[in-house]
Protein backbone atom coordinates (compact mmCIF):
# COMPACT_ATOMS: atom_id res chain seq x y z
CA UNK A 1 0.00 0.00 0.00
CA UNK A 2 1.24 3.52 -0.70
CA UNK A 3 -0.02 7.07 -0.65
CA UNK A 4 1.09 10.00 -2.75
CA UNK A 5 0.71 13.76 -2.98
CA UNK A 6 2.60 16.67 -4.44
CA UNK A 7 4.94 18.92 -2.53
CA UNK A 8 6.55 21.84 -4.32
CA UNK A 9 5.83 20.27 -7.68
CA UNK A 10 7.41 16.95 -6.70
CA UNK A 11 5.44 13.73 -6.41
CA UNK A 12 6.03 12.34 -2.91
CA UNK A 13 5.46 8.65 -2.23
CA UNK A 14 4.69 7.69 1.38
CA UNK A 15 4.99 3.94 1.87
CA UNK A 16 3.10 2.16 4.62
CA UNK A 17 4.63 -0.69 6.58
CA UNK A 18 3.39 -3.23 4.03
CA UNK A 19 5.94 -1.93 1.51
CA UNK A 20 8.82 -2.38 3.94
CA UNK A 21 9.96 -6.00 4.28
CA UNK A 22 11.16 -7.14 7.69
CA UNK A 23 8.77 -5.14 9.85
CA UNK A 24 7.33 -8.31 11.41
CA UNK A 25 3.76 -7.17 10.94
CA UNK A 26 3.98 -4.25 13.37
CA UNK A 27 2.61 -0.88 12.40
CA UNK A 28 5.15 1.93 12.19
CA UNK A 29 4.30 4.29 15.01
CA UNK A 30 1.42 2.07 16.14
CA UNK A 31 0.50 0.39 19.42
CA UNK A 32 2.74 -2.43 20.60
CA UNK A 33 0.65 -4.68 22.89
CA UNK A 34 3.75 -5.48 24.95
CA UNK A 35 4.21 -1.80 25.76
CA UNK A 36 0.50 -1.42 26.49
CA UNK A 37 0.70 -4.30 29.00
CA UNK A 38 3.74 -2.71 30.60
CA UNK A 39 1.77 0.50 31.18
CA UNK A 40 -1.08 -1.47 32.74
CA UNK A 41 1.35 -2.70 35.40
CA UNK A 42 1.92 0.81 36.79
CA UNK A 43 0.07 1.10 40.10
CA UNK A 44 -1.31 4.37 41.45
CA UNK A 45 -1.78 2.67 44.83
CA UNK A 46 1.87 1.60 44.96
CA UNK A 47 2.99 5.10 43.96
CA UNK A 48 0.93 6.58 46.77
CA UNK A 49 2.43 4.16 49.28
CA UNK A 50 5.94 5.05 48.11
CA UNK A 51 5.20 8.77 48.55
CA UNK A 52 4.01 8.11 52.11
CA UNK A 53 7.16 6.13 52.89
CA UNK A 54 9.52 8.75 51.48
CA UNK A 55 7.81 11.57 53.36
CA UNK A 56 7.98 9.42 56.48
CA UNK A 57 11.74 9.88 56.68
CA UNK A 58 10.85 13.46 57.82
CA UNK A 59 13.78 14.94 55.93
CA UNK A 60 16.04 13.80 53.10
CA UNK A 61 18.27 16.87 53.18
CA UNK A 62 21.73 16.23 51.75
CA UNK A 63 23.29 17.15 55.12
CA UNK A 64 20.81 15.23 57.26
CA UNK A 65 21.43 12.13 59.39
CA UNK A 66 23.03 9.20 57.58
CA UNK A 67 23.09 6.71 60.48
CA UNK A 68 19.51 6.61 61.71
CA UNK A 69 17.41 3.67 60.52
CA UNK A 70 14.24 5.77 60.34
CA UNK A 71 15.09 9.42 59.68
CA UNK A 72 17.24 11.36 57.25
CA UNK A 73 18.88 10.87 53.90
CA UNK A 74 20.84 7.78 54.93
CA UNK A 75 17.73 5.81 55.85
CA UNK A 76 15.99 7.02 52.70
CA UNK A 77 18.73 5.98 50.31
CA UNK A 78 19.10 2.57 51.93
CA UNK A 79 15.36 2.02 51.54
CA UNK A 80 15.42 3.07 47.87
CA UNK A 81 18.41 0.78 47.29
CA UNK A 82 16.55 -2.17 48.83
CA UNK A 83 13.46 -1.43 46.76
CA UNK A 84 15.54 -1.61 43.57
CA UNK A 85 17.38 -4.72 44.75
CA UNK A 86 14.28 -6.70 45.64
CA UNK A 87 12.27 -5.61 42.59
CA UNK A 88 14.10 -8.00 40.25
CA UNK A 89 17.42 -9.84 39.93
CA UNK A 90 17.67 -8.32 36.45
CA UNK A 91 18.47 -4.93 37.97
CA UNK A 92 22.08 -4.05 38.70
CA UNK A 93 21.80 -1.84 41.78
CA UNK A 94 24.56 0.40 43.14
CA UNK A 95 25.40 3.67 44.85
CA UNK A 96 26.93 6.24 42.52
CA UNK A 97 29.19 8.06 45.02
CA UNK A 98 31.00 11.41 45.01
CA UNK A 99 32.75 13.33 47.77
CA UNK A 100 31.68 16.98 47.66
CA UNK A 101 33.89 19.51 49.47
CA UNK A 102 32.59 22.36 51.57
CA UNK A 103 31.43 25.30 49.50
CA UNK A 104 28.30 27.20 48.52
CA UNK A 105 25.22 25.48 49.90
CA UNK A 106 27.36 22.58 51.13
CA UNK A 107 28.54 23.76 54.54
CA UNK A 108 30.73 20.74 55.25
CA UNK A 109 32.28 17.95 53.21
CA UNK A 110 29.69 15.31 52.37
CA UNK A 111 29.60 11.92 50.65
CA UNK A 112 26.90 12.19 48.01
CA UNK A 113 25.15 8.96 46.95
CA UNK A 114 22.95 8.69 43.88
CA UNK A 115 20.95 5.44 43.95
CA UNK A 116 21.02 3.67 40.59
CA UNK A 117 19.40 0.57 39.07
CA UNK A 118 20.56 -0.52 35.60
CA UNK A 119 18.59 -2.86 33.36
CA UNK A 120 21.13 -4.07 30.77
CA UNK A 121 20.09 -4.06 27.13
CA UNK A 122 21.59 -5.57 24.00
CA UNK A 123 23.63 -2.41 23.41
CA UNK A 124 25.63 -0.06 25.59
CA UNK A 125 23.64 3.04 24.62
CA UNK A 126 21.72 4.36 27.61
CA UNK A 127 18.32 5.86 28.33
CA UNK A 128 17.65 7.44 31.73
CA UNK A 129 14.62 8.03 33.91
CA UNK A 130 15.50 10.22 36.87
CA UNK A 131 14.24 12.11 39.88
CA UNK A 132 15.96 13.52 42.97
CA UNK A 133 15.37 12.08 46.41
CA UNK A 134 16.91 14.85 48.50
CA UNK A 135 14.73 17.58 50.07
CA UNK A 136 15.04 21.01 51.63
CA UNK A 137 12.68 23.27 53.58
CA UNK A 138 12.70 26.85 54.82
CA UNK A 139 12.64 27.68 58.47
CA UNK A 140 9.22 28.60 59.78
CA UNK A 141 8.75 32.40 59.97
CA UNK A 142 9.98 33.71 63.27
CA UNK A 143 11.98 30.57 64.05
CA UNK A 144 15.33 32.32 64.00
CA UNK A 145 15.68 32.24 60.24
CA UNK A 146 13.03 34.67 59.11
CA UNK A 147 11.40 31.97 57.02
CA UNK A 148 14.48 31.66 54.82
CA UNK A 149 16.91 28.84 54.15
CA UNK A 150 19.63 27.78 56.52
CA UNK A 151 21.69 25.43 54.37
CA UNK A 152 23.61 24.12 57.37
CA UNK A 153 20.41 23.00 59.11
CA UNK A 154 20.17 19.56 57.58
CA UNK A 155 17.76 18.17 60.15
CA UNK A 156 14.88 20.63 59.64
CA UNK A 157 11.64 18.83 58.73
CA UNK A 158 11.46 18.57 54.94
CA UNK A 159 9.03 15.82 53.85
CA UNK A 160 9.36 16.60 50.12
CA UNK A 161 6.37 14.49 49.08
CA UNK A 162 6.03 16.19 45.72
CA UNK A 163 9.48 17.80 45.43
CA UNK A 164 10.72 15.35 44.58
CA UNK A 165 9.18 12.33 46.24
CA UNK A 166 6.84 12.18 43.26
CA UNK A 167 9.69 11.90 40.76
CA UNK A 168 11.55 9.41 42.94
CA UNK A 169 8.44 7.24 43.34
CA UNK A 170 7.94 7.32 39.55
CA UNK A 171 11.52 6.16 38.97
CA UNK A 172 11.16 3.35 41.51
CA UNK A 173 7.86 2.17 40.03
CA UNK A 174 9.22 2.14 36.47
CA UNK A 175 12.31 0.20 37.55
CA UNK A 176 10.04 -2.47 39.03
CA UNK A 177 7.65 -2.61 36.07
CA UNK A 178 10.34 -2.70 33.40
CA UNK A 179 12.48 -5.28 35.19
CA UNK A 180 9.50 -7.56 35.84
CA UNK A 181 8.05 -7.19 32.32
CA UNK A 182 10.33 -9.83 30.81
CA UNK A 183 10.93 -7.57 27.79
CA UNK A 184 14.39 -7.44 26.25
CA UNK A 185 15.44 -3.98 25.14
CA UNK A 186 18.05 -2.82 22.68
CA UNK A 187 19.06 0.09 24.93
CA UNK A 188 20.37 -0.18 28.48
CA UNK A 189 17.96 1.49 30.89
CA UNK A 190 19.12 3.50 33.89
CA UNK A 191 16.72 4.30 36.73
CA UNK A 192 18.39 6.80 39.00
CA UNK A 193 17.49 8.84 42.09
CA UNK A 194 19.89 11.76 42.33
CA UNK A 195 21.09 13.43 45.53
CA UNK A 196 22.17 17.01 46.05
CA UNK A 197 19.74 18.55 43.57
CA UNK A 198 18.62 21.21 46.00
CA UNK A 199 22.21 22.32 46.57
CA UNK A 200 22.87 22.92 42.88
CA UNK A 201 22.31 19.70 40.87
CA UNK A 202 25.35 18.18 42.56
CA UNK A 203 24.68 14.46 42.05
CA UNK A 204 23.45 14.80 38.47
CA UNK A 205 26.31 17.13 37.48
CA UNK A 206 29.00 14.77 38.71
CA UNK A 207 27.34 11.79 37.04
CA UNK A 208 26.91 13.63 33.73
CA UNK A 209 30.51 14.85 33.77
CA UNK A 210 31.71 11.30 34.32
CA UNK A 211 29.52 10.12 31.43
CA UNK A 212 30.99 12.75 29.14
CA UNK A 213 34.57 12.06 30.23
CA UNK A 214 34.15 8.32 29.63
CA UNK A 215 32.29 8.77 26.32
CA UNK A 216 29.11 7.02 27.38
CA UNK A 217 26.35 7.04 24.79
CA UNK A 218 23.22 8.55 26.38
CA UNK A 219 20.34 8.88 23.94
CA UNK A 220 17.97 10.62 26.32
CA UNK A 221 17.25 11.64 29.91
CA UNK A 222 13.65 11.80 31.14
CA UNK A 223 13.89 13.80 34.34
CA UNK A 224 10.87 13.95 36.62
CA UNK A 225 10.69 16.73 39.19
CA UNK A 226 7.42 17.79 40.89
CA UNK A 227 5.09 15.56 38.87
CA UNK A 228 2.35 14.62 41.35
CA UNK A 229 0.17 17.65 42.11
CA UNK A 230 -2.95 18.82 40.27
CA UNK A 231 -3.92 22.04 42.12
CA UNK A 232 -1.95 25.29 42.13
CA UNK A 233 -1.71 27.80 44.95
CA UNK A 234 -4.36 29.97 43.27
CA UNK A 235 -6.79 27.01 43.13
CA UNK A 236 -6.44 26.18 39.45
CA UNK A 237 -6.65 22.46 38.71
CA UNK A 238 -5.30 20.38 35.83
CA UNK A 239 -5.16 16.60 35.99
CA UNK A 240 -5.05 15.97 32.24
CA UNK A 241 -1.77 17.51 31.07
CA UNK A 242 1.91 17.39 31.93
CA UNK A 243 4.58 19.89 30.93
CA UNK A 244 7.78 18.76 29.25
CA UNK A 245 10.52 21.40 29.29
CA UNK A 246 13.08 21.16 26.49
CA UNK A 247 15.78 23.65 25.63
CA UNK A 248 16.29 24.92 22.08
CA UNK A 249 17.17 25.66 19.46
CA UNK A 250 14.10 24.38 17.67
CA UNK A 251 15.68 21.16 16.39
CA UNK A 252 17.99 20.46 19.31
CA UNK A 253 18.20 16.81 20.42
CA UNK A 254 16.31 17.74 23.61
CA UNK A 255 13.49 19.38 21.67
CA UNK A 256 13.28 16.35 19.37
CA UNK A 257 13.12 14.09 22.43
CA UNK A 258 10.20 16.13 23.78
CA UNK A 259 8.37 15.82 20.47
CA UNK A 260 8.93 12.09 20.55
CA UNK A 261 7.41 11.89 24.04
CA UNK A 262 4.38 13.88 22.92
CA UNK A 263 3.82 11.62 19.93
CA UNK A 264 4.14 8.42 21.95
CA UNK A 265 1.85 9.73 24.70
CA UNK A 266 -0.83 10.55 22.14
CA UNK A 267 -0.91 6.88 21.15
CA UNK A 268 -0.54 5.11 24.48
CA UNK A 269 -2.06 7.59 26.98
CA UNK A 270 -4.42 9.60 24.75
CA UNK A 271 -6.36 11.17 27.65
CA UNK A 272 -3.16 12.72 29.02
CA UNK A 273 -1.65 15.54 26.96
CA UNK A 274 2.04 16.40 26.81
CA UNK A 275 2.56 20.16 26.59
CA UNK A 276 6.04 21.02 25.30
CA UNK A 277 7.44 24.13 26.95
CA UNK A 278 10.10 25.71 24.74
CA UNK A 279 12.66 26.51 27.43
CA UNK A 280 15.12 24.52 29.47
CA UNK A 281 13.10 24.73 32.68
CA UNK A 282 10.72 26.95 34.58
CA UNK A 283 11.77 30.59 34.35
CA UNK A 284 14.87 31.21 36.45
CA UNK A 285 14.91 27.66 37.86
CA UNK A 286 16.60 24.38 37.01
CA UNK A 287 16.57 20.60 37.30
CA UNK A 288 18.85 17.60 36.99
CA UNK A 289 18.34 17.24 33.21
CA UNK A 290 20.28 20.50 32.85
CA UNK A 291 23.45 18.73 34.03
CA UNK A 292 23.12 16.38 31.06
CA UNK A 293 22.29 18.96 28.40
CA UNK A 294 25.30 21.00 29.50
CA UNK A 295 27.44 17.93 28.84
CA UNK A 296 26.02 17.29 25.37
CA UNK A 297 23.27 14.75 26.16
CA UNK A 298 19.58 15.19 25.27
CA UNK A 299 17.43 15.76 28.33
CA UNK A 300 13.94 16.99 29.21
CA UNK A 301 12.06 17.74 32.42
CA UNK A 302 8.58 16.47 33.18
CA UNK A 303 6.68 18.69 35.60
CA UNK A 304 3.06 18.97 36.69
CA UNK A 305 0.82 21.44 34.89
CA UNK A 306 -0.17 23.38 38.03
CA UNK A 307 2.56 23.97 40.61
CA UNK A 308 1.71 25.00 44.16
CA UNK A 309 4.61 27.24 45.12
CA UNK A 310 3.29 27.59 48.67
CA UNK A 311 4.05 23.92 49.33
CA UNK A 312 7.47 23.77 47.70
CA UNK A 313 10.50 23.75 50.03
CA UNK A 314 8.26 23.89 53.10
CA UNK A 315 6.92 21.49 55.73
CA UNK A 316 3.61 21.69 53.82
CA UNK A 317 4.98 19.48 51.01
CA UNK A 318 3.12 16.46 52.37
CA UNK A 319 1.50 13.44 50.68
CA UNK A 320 -1.96 15.04 50.60
CA UNK A 321 -0.58 17.38 47.93
CA UNK A 322 0.09 14.46 45.57
CA UNK A 323 -2.61 12.83 43.43
CA UNK A 324 -1.53 9.19 42.87
CA UNK A 325 -3.77 8.73 39.81
CA UNK A 326 -2.27 11.78 38.12
CA UNK A 327 1.22 10.63 39.05
CA UNK A 328 0.45 7.20 37.56
CA UNK A 329 -0.54 8.78 34.23
CA UNK A 330 2.70 10.75 34.19
CA UNK A 331 4.51 7.49 34.90
CA UNK A 332 2.72 5.90 31.94
CA UNK A 333 3.84 8.71 29.63
CA UNK A 334 7.43 8.18 30.80
CA UNK A 335 7.13 4.42 30.43
CA UNK A 336 5.67 4.57 26.91
CA UNK A 337 8.43 6.94 25.82
CA UNK A 338 11.17 4.90 27.45
CA UNK A 339 9.96 1.55 26.12
CA UNK A 340 9.44 2.83 22.58
CA UNK A 341 12.92 4.35 22.48
CA UNK A 342 14.54 1.31 24.08
CA UNK A 343 12.90 -1.13 21.64
CA UNK A 344 13.87 1.00 18.63
CA UNK A 345 17.32 1.21 17.04
CA UNK A 346 19.54 4.17 17.83
CA UNK A 347 18.92 7.29 15.77
CA UNK A 348 21.01 7.56 12.60
CA UNK A 349 23.98 9.88 12.55
CA UNK A 350 23.44 12.75 10.14
CA UNK A 351 26.68 14.61 10.84
CA UNK A 352 30.00 13.92 9.19
CA UNK A 353 32.60 12.16 11.29
CA UNK A 354 35.00 15.01 10.65
CA UNK A 355 33.90 18.54 11.24
CA UNK A 356 30.45 17.61 12.54
CA UNK A 357 28.81 19.15 9.49
CA UNK A 358 25.36 17.91 8.36
CA UNK A 359 25.56 15.44 5.47
CA UNK A 360 23.00 17.37 3.42
CA UNK A 361 23.74 18.62 -0.08
CA UNK A 362 22.11 20.18 -3.12
CA UNK A 363 22.36 17.19 -5.44
CA UNK A 364 22.37 18.54 -9.00
CA UNK A 365 21.94 22.03 -7.59
CA UNK A 366 18.25 22.19 -6.81
CA UNK A 367 17.59 18.90 -5.00
CA UNK A 368 17.83 17.83 -1.37
CA UNK A 369 20.46 15.10 -1.20
CA UNK A 370 20.53 13.41 2.23
CA UNK A 371 23.06 10.94 3.61
CA UNK A 372 23.20 9.30 7.01
CA UNK A 373 25.07 6.58 8.87
CA UNK A 374 23.25 3.27 9.22
CA UNK A 375 21.77 2.36 12.61
CA UNK A 376 22.46 -1.22 13.77
CA UNK A 377 19.25 -3.23 13.64
CA UNK A 378 17.31 -0.79 11.46
CA UNK A 379 15.21 -2.27 8.65
CA UNK A 380 14.04 1.07 7.26
CA UNK A 381 14.35 4.83 7.74
CA UNK A 382 11.74 7.54 7.93
CA UNK A 383 12.84 10.78 6.30
CA UNK A 384 10.86 13.85 7.37
CA UNK A 385 10.90 17.52 6.43
CA UNK A 386 8.99 20.73 7.00
CA UNK A 387 9.07 24.41 6.13
CA UNK A 388 11.49 26.22 8.42
CA UNK A 389 8.82 28.00 10.47
CA UNK A 390 6.40 25.08 10.67
CA UNK A 391 6.14 23.61 14.20
CA UNK A 392 5.67 19.99 13.09
CA UNK A 393 7.03 17.70 10.40
CA UNK A 394 4.83 18.14 7.32
CA UNK A 395 6.14 15.56 4.86
CA UNK A 396 7.75 12.16 5.13
CA UNK A 397 9.03 9.22 3.18
CA UNK A 398 9.98 5.72 4.34
CA UNK A 399 12.94 4.10 2.59
CA UNK A 400 14.27 0.58 2.92
CA UNK A 401 17.75 0.08 4.33
CA UNK A 402 19.30 2.71 2.03
CA UNK A 403 21.27 5.45 3.75
CA UNK A 404 20.84 8.05 1.03
CA UNK A 405 17.83 9.80 -0.44
CA UNK A 406 17.47 12.56 -3.02
CA UNK A 407 14.31 14.65 -3.11
CA UNK A 408 14.11 16.39 -6.50
CA UNK A 409 13.38 20.10 -6.58
CA UNK A 410 13.23 20.45 -2.79
CA UNK A 411 15.40 23.35 -1.61
CA UNK A 412 17.62 22.66 1.40
CA UNK A 413 17.40 26.38 2.17
CA UNK A 414 13.62 26.37 2.54
CA UNK A 415 13.06 23.20 4.57
CA UNK A 416 14.36 21.46 7.70
CA UNK A 417 15.14 17.75 7.23
CA UNK A 418 15.53 14.80 9.58
CA UNK A 419 15.71 11.02 9.58
CA UNK A 420 14.70 8.32 12.09
CA UNK A 421 15.56 4.62 12.19
CA UNK A 422 12.83 1.96 12.22
CA UNK A 423 13.35 -1.44 13.83
CA UNK A 424 11.84 -4.82 12.93
CA UNK A 425 8.95 -4.30 15.37
CA UNK A 426 7.99 -0.96 13.88
CA UNK A 427 9.51 1.04 16.74
CA UNK A 428 11.14 4.26 15.66
CA UNK A 429 14.06 6.22 17.05
CA UNK A 430 14.01 9.91 17.69
CA UNK A 431 14.53 12.05 14.62
CA UNK A 432 18.08 13.19 13.92
CA UNK A 433 17.85 16.63 12.32
CA UNK A 434 20.17 18.12 9.73
CA UNK A 435 21.05 21.35 11.50
CA UNK A 436 24.04 23.60 10.91
CA UNK A 437 26.28 24.02 13.96
CA UNK A 438 26.64 27.60 15.24
CA UNK A 439 29.05 29.74 13.25
CA UNK A 440 32.19 30.66 15.15
CA UNK A 441 33.67 34.15 14.84
CA UNK A 442 36.56 34.30 12.39
CA UNK A 443 39.78 35.41 14.12
CA UNK A 444 41.16 38.60 12.71
CA UNK A 445 42.05 42.19 13.45
CA UNK A 446 39.33 44.43 14.82
CA UNK A 447 38.08 47.16 12.50
* Cβ–Cβ < 8 Å for 227, 266: no
Least confident of 8-12, 160-164, 330-334: 8-12
Q: To 10 degrees, the CA torsion angle through 243, 248, 249, 253?
A: -90
Q: For residue 11, what pLDDT is reported? A: 32
Q: In the predicted model, what is the mean pLDDT of residues 221-246?
A: 97
Q: For residue 150, what pLDDT is reported? A: 82
Percentage of the chain modeled with pLDDT above 90: 82
H helical segments located in 66-184: 73-87, 165-180
Q: For residue 436, what pLDDT is reported? A: 81
The 10s digit of each residue's pLDDT in 280-300 is: 989 888 899 999 999 999 999
Least confident of 26-30, 94-98, 173-177, 188-192: 26-30
Question: What DSSP element (H or E) covers 189?
Answer: strand 188-194
The 10s digit of each residue's pLDDT in 116-144 is: 999 999 999 999 999 999 999 987 665 44
* Residue 239 in this model has a pLDDT that exceeds 90: yes
Alpha carbon 313 to its chain centroid, in Å, reads: 24
| 2-30+348-433 shares its CATH topology with 33-343 | no
pTM of the model: 0.92
349: CB partners within 8 A, 6+ apart: 372, 373, 432
CA distance 436 to 429: 21
Which option is the CATH number for 33-343: 1.10.10.60, 3.40.50.1820, 3.40.630.10, 3.40.50.880?
3.40.630.10
CA distance 158 to 313: 7
Q: In the predicted model, what is the mean pLDDT of residues 174-194?
A: 98
Farthest CA pair distance, the chain: 75
Q: For residue 401, what pLDDT is reported? A: 81
3 band by pLDDT with thresholds 50, 70 and 90:
very low
The 10s digit of each residue's pLDDT in 296-333 is: 999 999 999 999 999 999 999 999 999 999 999 999 99
CATH fold of 2-30+348-433: Immunoglobulin-like (2.60.40)
Q: For residue 204, what pLDDT is reported? A: 98
108 band by pLDDT with thresholds 50, 70 and 90:
very high
Domain spans, the chain: 2-30+348-433, 33-343
CA distance 222 to 244: 9
* Residue 231 in this model has a pLDDT that exceeds 90: yes
Amino acid sequence: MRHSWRCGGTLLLLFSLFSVPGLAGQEIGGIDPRVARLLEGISAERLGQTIQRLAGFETRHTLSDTLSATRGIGAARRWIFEHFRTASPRLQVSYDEYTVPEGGRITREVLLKNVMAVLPGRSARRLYVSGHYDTVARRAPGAGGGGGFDWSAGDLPAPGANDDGSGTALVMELARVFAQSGLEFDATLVFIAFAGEEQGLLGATRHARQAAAENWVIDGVLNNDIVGGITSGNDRTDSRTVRVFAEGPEDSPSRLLARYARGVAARYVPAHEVRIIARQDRFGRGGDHTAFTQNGFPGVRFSEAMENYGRQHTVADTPNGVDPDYLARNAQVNAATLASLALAPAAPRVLSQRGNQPTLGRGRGYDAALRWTASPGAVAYRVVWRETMAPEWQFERVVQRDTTLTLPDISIDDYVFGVAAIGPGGHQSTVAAYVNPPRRPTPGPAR
